[in-house]
Amino acid sequence: MKTIKHITLSLVIAIALNACTPKMAFTSSSVVPAASGTINVKKDKNENYTLKVNVHNLAESKNLTPSKGSYLVWMKQNDRSVKKLGQLNPSGKTLTASLSATAVAKPQEVFITAEDNAEILYPAGQTVLTTEK
10-31 residue pLDDT tens: 444 444 444 455 889 999 889 9
Q: Kindly state whether residue 118 falls inside one of the protein's structural domains.
A: yes
Domain range enclosing 114:
22-130
Q: Kindly state whether residue 3 falls inside one of the protein's structural domains.
A: no
Q: What is the CATH number of the domain that holds 53?
A: 2.60.40
Q: Using CA atoms, how far apart are residues 62 and 45, in angstroms rounded to an integer? A: 39
Q: Using CA atoms, how far apart are residues 56 and 74, in angstroms rounded to an integer? A: 17
- pLDDT value at 43 more than 60: yes
Q: Kindly state whether residue 95 falls inside one of the protein's structural domains.
A: yes
pLDDT tens-place string over residues 72-110: 999 999 888 999 999 999 999 999 999 999 999 999 999
Q: Which residues of 46-130 form beta strands (DSSP E)?
A: 49-56, 70-76, 82-88, 97-103, 109-115, 126-130
Listed in sequence order, the residues at least 6 apart from 130 whose beta carbon sits closer than 8 Å to its beta carbon are: 26, 27, 109, 110, 111, 112
Q: Kindly state whether residue 52 falls inside one of the protein's structural domains.
A: yes
Q: Kindly state whether residue 48 falls inside one of the protein's structural domains.
A: yes
Strand pairing class (126-130; 109-115) = antiparallel
- pLDDT value at 60 more than 50: yes
> Is the pTM of the predicted complex or chain greater than 0.75?
yes
Q: Kindly state whether residue 121 falls inside one of the protein's structural domains.
A: yes
pLDDT of residue 113: 97
Q: Kindly state whether residue 11 falls inside one of the protein's structural domains.
A: no
Number of domains making up the chain: 1
Q: Kindly state whether residue 40 falls inside one of the protein's structural domains.
A: yes
